[in-house]
Amino acid sequence: MEPLVEGAMALSTVLVVWFGGQRVLRGELPIEDVVAFLFYLVNFYQPIWLLTDVNEAWQQGIASIKRIDEVLRLEPEVAEAPDAITPTRLAGELHLAHVDFAYRPDQPVLHDVSLSVAAGQTLALVGPTGAGKSTIVSLLARFYDPQRGQVLIDGIDARQLGLAALRRNLSMVLQDVFLFNGNVRENIRFGKPAASDAEVETAARIANAHDFTSACRKGTTRRSASVACGSPAGRNSASRSRGRC
């Protein structure tokens, strides 16, 4: 609809200038009348422009609502067991027993993988892109279930653990970190909205974020756009977002 309005306005302007200009040259019409008529054209098309903008926004809104509805209707591939175990705290002993997994049947990612990690032990998974490092982490969080084998946490099959209880005992630091619009404290509290200020500070210290957020003038109340002000990259990011430490 917008191209039609643009075309109509352009054609109307050309006609007014063409016929009005000829009459001005012949002395039959004052030039002031032609200019006034051009202003009338602008005032005439202004509400039509607004209507086209409203119609465009309406169509975008309808399309967005449909996509959101499709997402909300999706059934999760990973289902929680009816008699799921919901422990308050897990020690963290991990064991993968002959695990097979593939995102596509013809492209296996993990084949007969077994490993054990004691509670409190640190383990680094090193390998090229596509080797299955992120996949193993996804299996631990039950974003997916293995096609064969077991993922055991404290000796319990992950499929027997309640999803909320399991994920409450996991922490992830992804390669691409997303910060919500708000301050640092609100971002830290995202997983636990009722967390106290002391718990927020403890979490920041564990994540090695306390020192550089404290370097900001407002600490964890600083807007997330300028959170990393303690590092050169963070200062560059803050300056781009017009934030100041």
What pLDDT, in 10s, does the model give residues 147-182?
999 999 999 999 999 998 898 888 887 777 777 887
Please count the structural domains in the chain.
3
Q: Give one DSSP letter per residue of 122-149, joined into a string.
A: -------TTSSHHHHHHHHTTSS--SEE
Last-in-domain residue among 168, 194, 213: 168
pTM reported for the whole predicted model: 0.57
160 lies in the same domain as 192 = no
Shared-domain flag, residues 164 and 229: no
Q: Domain residues for 10? A: 2-72
In this structure, are 41 and 106 located in the same domain? no
| CATH number of the domain that residue 117 is part of | 3.40.50.300
Q: Are residues 162 and 188 located together in one domain of the fold? A: no
Residue 234 has pLDDT above 50, yes or no: no
Q: Helix, strand, coil % (nearest 5) of the chain?
A: 50, 15, 35
User: What pLDDT, on a 0 to 100 scale, did the predictor assign at position 68?
Assistant: 94
Instruction: For residue 208, tell me if it sits in a domain.
Output: yes
- Do 154 and 194 share a domain, yes or no? no
The answer to the question of residue 175 being in a domain is no
